[in-house]
Structure 1
């Protein structure tokens, strides 16, 4: 039995070993099949890569051929360009440098024309948008200000209590009138006009002192040289006091008080302008009016009105000194204000209010605008017929001096100038340039209230006759 059991066990082991060997053979067979498949797949990939490499080589050969062709074409084009340039130079008689200059000049001319068109369009838009706003601000300021019309003269007339006072004014052998004129520096005119005498002097402050002196003498009745000197001294002191009072009243009227103290000499000099006129307009009244206008316009624009009012109030202070110091009243006044402690903004606005210095601040521009509004409003100023005629003649002369201008007409009392030009000699752009140049010359050479409009008329006509 033991032998039989050993035999059975050996058979089982052999059977298990056979099964295991069979399984191993199957695994090896499957691995071999997979290796063959991978090898076949790798062979196919190698064939594809080889074919792709061949195509890349062919593409490189084609590119090299095209590059060579391009280089050949480029060389051919360069040669033809050189031949063409030489042919053009021979045909036109120009070198390449000359031709280049000609092309640059043509481009520059075209660029200038385009720039002129652009400038004109920008100016048109600026005028359209800015003119309405400016008119609104200025009109609002003018409507809010009530001012007097001009009624000032350069001669003061006094009425005598009686006709026999003329003899007492003249004195024995004219000694009283000679003493009066020597002391006051004013001409005393005694003519045949019943009950009246006249005082004439270029300096209105001296004329006012003389008026008070003569009124005092007439009221007292005692007229002789010593009495004239005494009365004149009192009158000068009175005028000095009135000037200071007028300057202080102007500051209070404008609203420049404790918040903006002013040097006493400035206040006194400002007050003397109470007795001065410009084209018949009282200068101190003009300054107060300008200060109100400038302050209102500054408030509309959101600018601090205090320095603007101050600059506008002082902008003509140089007129009180212009008979003593040579030069423009704008520059004289600016220097005077600077010496007495005014700020740089105020000094610049005074110097620039007539355009002699370029306006670079808002205060300066508003001072210019307020000055023009006050001087140009209806009833503000008057001028002599001779000055008016000279201004019209000069307006026409300035416009006629430009090439292509045929006729010039000063219209609307010199507020507009119509300029007729030859259409074949002046194009539209040149017409615009003529208008701008004439306006610039008028601003630089002439003094005038308000503004002057320059209109250039270019008209083309075609005429035929039917027979």
Structure 2
């Protein structure tokens, strides 16, 4: 009993009762909540079923609509195909009719050709029959003629041929004599016309060189310095140059006298430098004369190169060029020989062009015809023969060498080229200088170079520069590529080598430019 009255027992009993009460209440709550959940689940299922039915109906309606649209599209496409088939059938029917008509026309033409062929065969048979009849009649006629003339057919033919040959020979002889007389008159008239044309086309100015040169002085006091103490300076100058120096009363000038134009030019240039320098004494004089002599040799070589370039003579030996340049300071009867040679070259070219001969060969012979005069004081003999030997020595062709030797008839002329050089030499006479013709030849060379370049496809512009020694070509980058530009430069260079004659070499530069253009907005 004491144990039952203990407080822990009451606590235990309270807890047990509370636990049972809580369990009952929780069970009641769980059961109520589960029923709510079931009700909600049922509602969700019913709603889902309703929605599914609606979606099913909507899907069926949409599928029916799509099926209807597909059906409509198929029907439209079928109608279009039927129209195309109908049109194609109509076209085929038309073509069938055309082919039928053409076939009928071909049959008709074939029948006509057969009729024409039959007609030709008939006419051929008639022609053969008539030809046989004509042959028979000719045989009868020949037999009758032979019987009447009492000679055979071969003998009659021989008599007729002899008679015709004799008559033909007489007529040919008369005609030949008439043609020969006409040709002589025509040749004489043509020669006069060519000479007159050459003279009119080449109107050079008359320039005569003299055997003295005048050197201006800054003052008369310079004359004393040129003479020097006891005449040492003037004797040094005369000894170094071989030229006489005349110092007279001519105000502010001294005169150089000598027949050798090269030495006279050396003396003139040397004296001019000494006057400008102011140092005039024997040692300085020898130094300046040596320097001027070297410069003059270079100038003569360049003059020879320029002469060959002006004439268009290609491949002249370098020694011949040097000899030709020496003619710049050589005169003949008051005429500068280099200018005379240029004039003869151009006159030869004009006359050769009129006669249809090789113009370049004629110009070359005319340019070199007096090269013997450059060394005739060093070698014995006529300058024509000396020039011929020099031309042979340095590789000129036999035609040119012979023309040089024959231009003064030291050897008899043999070809038209020999006569041309003789005639041009005589025409030149006292009319040296050919600046106008040189300018025309220079311009013509530039035009030829640019014309050759412009003849190639893809070339836009071309420029001949540096006196015709370089050709610059602008090409269309859309038509000519980098590799094609290299081939184009080679082709143009080869064409220039084949078509033109020129001294030295010509540089061909092909320029290809690519431009990229864009605009900033």
Per the TM alignment, residue 189 of structure 1 is displaced from its structure 2 partner at its CA by: 1.2
Which runs of structure 2 are paired with 1:169-188 in the superposition (5 Å)? 169-188=226-245
Mapped partners of 2:315, 2:221: distance in 1:
51
**What are the Cα deviations for residues 208-239 of structure 1, in whole angstroms up to 9, with x where unaligned?**
11111111001101100000011111101111
SS at structure 2 position matched to 1:215: helix
- In the other structure, the counterpart of 2:424 is 370
Do the aligned residues in 1 keep the contact of 2:339 with 2:432 (CA within 8 Å)?
A: no
Q: Paired residue for 1:317, among 360, 367, 371?
A: 371
Per the TM alignment, residue 128 of structure 1 is displaced from its structure 2 partner at its CA by: 3.5
- In the other structure, the counterpart of 2:303 is 246
**What are the Cα deviations for residues 87-111 of structure 1, in whole angstroms up to 9, with x where unaligned?**
xxxxxxxxxxxxxxxxxxxxxxxxx
Distance 1:128 1:347, change over 3 A: same
- In the other structure, the counterpart of 1:273 is 327
Per the TM alignment, residue 378 of structure 1 is displaced from its structure 2 partner at its CA by: 10
Mapped partners of 2:180, 2:222: distance in 1:
67
Q: Is residue 2:287 matched to residue 1:211?
A: no
Q: Paired residue for 1:337, among 387, 391, 401?
A: 391
Mapped partners of 2:414, 2:320: distance in 1:
24
Q: Is residue 2:316 matched to residue 1:262?
A: yes
SS at structure 2 position matched to 1:223: coil
Per the TM alignment, residue 335 of structure 1 is displaced from its structure 2 partner at its CA by: 0.8
- In the other structure, the counterpart of 1:153 is 210
- In the other structure, the counterpart of 2:351 is 297
Mapped partners of 1:378, 1:285: distance in 2:
5
- In the other structure, the counterpart of 1:223 is 280
Mapped partners of 1:275, 1:376: distance in 2:
16
Per the TM alignment, residue 329 of structure 1 is displaced from its structure 2 partner at its CA by: 0.6
* Pair member with larger Rg: 2
Mapped partners of 2:271, 2:295: distance in 1:
13
Distance 1:213 1:122, change over 3 A: farther
Mapped partners of 2:216, 2:189: distance in 1:
52
Mapped partners of 1:342, 1:365: distance in 2:
19
- In the other structure, the counterpart of 1:64 is none
**What are the Cα deviations for residues 56-75 of structure 1, in whole angstroms up to 9, with x where unaligned?**
xxxxxxxxxxxxxxxxxxxx
SS at structure 2 position matched to 1:347: helix
Per the TM alignment, residue 146 of structure 1 is displaced from its structure 2 partner at its CA by: 3.1
Q: Paired residue for 1:140, among 197, 204, 217?
A: 197
- In the other structure, the counterpart of 2:415 is 361
Gaps of 5+ in 1: 1-120, 381-467
Per the TM alignment, residue 142 of structure 1 is displaced from its structure 2 partner at its CA by: 2.1
Mapped partners of 1:273, 1:195: distance in 2:
31
Distance 1:177 1:376, change over 3 A: closer
Q: Is residue 2:185 matched to residue 1:128?
A: yes
Per the TM alignment, residue 326 of structure 1 is displaced from its structure 2 partner at its CA by: 1.5
Distance 1:379 1:333, change over 3 A: closer
After the TM superposition, which parts of structure 1 deviate over 2 Å for at least 4 consecutive aligned residues? 121-131, 376-380
- In the other structure, the counterpart of 1:435 is none
- In the other structure, the counterpart of 1:307 is 361
- In the other structure, the counterpart of 2:337 is 283
Per the TM alignment, residue 127 of structure 1 is displaced from its structure 2 partner at its CA by: 6.0
Q: How many residues align?
A: 257
Mapped partners of 1:262, 1:323: distance in 2:
23
Mapped partners of 1:206, 1:127: distance in 2:
51
**What are the Cα deviations for residues 318-352 of structure 1, in whole angstroms up to 9, with x where unaligned?**
11111111111111111111111111111100000
Do the aligned residues in 1 keep the contact of 2:342 with 2:433 (CA within 8 Å)?
A: no
SS at structure 1 position matched to 2:203: coil
Per the normalisation by structure 1, the TM-score is 0.53
Per the TM alignment, residue 149 of structure 1 is displaced from its structure 2 partner at its CA by: 0.5
Per the TM alignment, residue 307 of structure 1 is displaced from its structure 2 partner at its CA by: 1.5
Distance 1:122 1:319, change over 3 A: farther
CA RMSD in angstroms, aligned pairs only? 2.2
- In the other structure, the counterpart of 2:447 is none
- In the other structure, the counterpart of 1:457 is none
Mapped partners of 2:299, 2:199: distance in 1:
29
Per the TM alignment, residue 200 of structure 1 is displaced from its structure 2 partner at its CA by: 1.5
Do the aligned residues in 1 keep the contact of 2:406 with 2:412 (CA within 8 Å)?
A: yes
Distance 1:378 1:335, change over 3 A: closer
Per the TM alignment, residue 249 of structure 1 is displaced from its structure 2 partner at its CA by: 1.1
Mapped partners of 1:122, 1:189: distance in 2:
67
Distance 1:133 1:194, change over 3 A: same
Distance 1:349 1:173, change over 3 A: same
Mapped partners of 1:274, 1:233: distance in 2:
20
